Amino acid sequence: MSGAGLEAAKSMLAAVRRLAVLTGAGMSAESGVPTFRDAQAGLWRRFDPQQLASPEGFRADPALVWRWYAWRRELVAAAQPNAGHLALAQAAARFSRLSIVTQNVDGLHQRAGSREPIEIHGNILRSRCLAECGAKYERPEDLPAGEPPRCPDCGSWLRPDVVWFGEMLDPGRLLAAEEVVTGAEALLVVGTSGLVQPAAGLPAQARRAGVPVIIVNPRPTEIDQIADLIVTGTAAAVLPALLGGMAARGVG
Ligand code: APR
């Protein structure tokens, strides 16, 4: 972990009351949640990502896609929030507002105690009706049987409530994310490569709105050039050091 970057980031955050946090796959790496690409291991290696995570792939073989998501849900269920997730959840009390925007679909921010992160890529534990009749299932154990299950309301397939290749992000959620990052006094960007749009554009939007950007990542990213500060290190090592032991901030 880089000491100089960490100390500078701590002093920057000392005056901040409204903090926004953007997280990506690296946030959950130390929880053992495989990234989308890592998850294509073993048995699944022979499938193309478009087959497993696109509307066309699902229509071509719904059972295959459903099984892949069922397997990933098991991996997520077995994972635990790491010290980085917990540090963010605990730090919420020290800011007047701490808002999390996440690209992760694993629900680990909520399990760590963070309230209502904006999940711009959806959540693997939720399912919804493919035909947009509006039916949603919040818990995998509530799902009707079948591969994939049928929507009890309209008989269409149920699909995971995540954003697939070729799909638009939910416009309401993206707008909420933009408002959070541009309305904050600082933006912390944790564990994202800055390669996948439109999430990768959020730090630049914040910067244009005059919000200082701090990146936490063990490796260089595509968006390092727009950062005011870079703390080199992992989420579970840096976030407790950065956010732990801060004095409570007044409401403002
Ligand atoms: N702590 C912090 N960052 C880490 C850690 C760690 N322990 N381990 C790896 N990283 C960093 C990597 O250096 C990299 O910059 O996490 C980043 C992961 O990059 P990606 O896999 O590209 O993840 P992300 O930016 O979230 O990708 C966006 O792409 O696969 C799709 O929809 C999926 O939400 C995902 C999106």
Spatial separation of the C-alpha atoms in residues 2 and 20, rounded to whole Å: 22
Written as six digits, the tokens of 33 are 């949640």
130 lies in some domain: no
12 lies in some domain: yes
Sequence-distant (6+) residues with CB within 8 A of 126 are 136, 137, 138, 160, 161
Name the closest-CA residue to atom 16, ligand 1. 26
CATH of residue 114 = 3.40.50.1220
18 lies in some domain: yes
Written as six digits, the tokens of 213 are 């950007």
Q: CA-CA distances (angstroms) from residue 7 to 3, 11, 13, 22, 242?
A: 6, 6, 10, 20, 8
Ligand 1 center to residue 52 CA distance, Å? 19
Written as six digits, the tokens of 113 are 């105690």
Q: What is the pLDDT of residue 251?
A: 46
Name the closest-CA residue to atom 20, ligand 1. 193
219 lines ligand 1 (CB under 6 A): yes
Q: What are the tens digits of pLDDT across the range 152-205?
A: 889 999 999 999 999 999 999 999 999 999 999 999 999 999 999 999 999 999
Ligand 1 center to residue 27 CA distance, Å? 7
97 lies in some domain: yes
Tell me, what DSSP letter sits at residue 139?
S
44 lines ligand 1 (CB under 6 A): no
Residues annotated as catalytic are 121
Ligand 1 center to residue 131 CA distance, Å? 31
Written as six digits, the tokens of 43 are 């048995």
Ligand 1 center to residue 134 CA distance, Å? 31
196 lines ligand 1 (CB under 6 A): yes
Q: What is the pLDDT of residue 42?
A: 74
Whole-prediction pTM: 0.94
Structural domain including 235 reads 3-32+81-121+169-243
Written as six digits, the tokens of 112 are 């760590």
Tell me, what DSSP letter sits at residue 47?
S
Q: What is the pLDDT of residue 102?
A: 98
Q: What is the pLDDT of residue 81?
A: 98
220 lies in some domain: yes
Q: Count structural domains, the chain.
A: 1
Q: Decide if 130 contacts 58 (C-beta within 8 A).
A: yes
137 lies in some domain: no
Backbone angles phi, psi at 192, to 5 degrees: -130, 140
Spatial separation of the C-alpha atoms in residues 186 and 210, rounded to whole Å: 9
Helix axes 235-243, 3-14, angle to 10 degrees: 40
Sequence-distant (6+) residues with CB within 8 A of 2 are 230, 231, 232, 233
37 lies in some domain: no
Q: What is the pLDDT of residue 248?
A: 58
110 lies in some domain: yes
Which residues of the chain register pLDDT less than 50? 250-252
183 exposed, middle or buried (CB, 10 Å; 0-12, 13-18, 19+)? middle
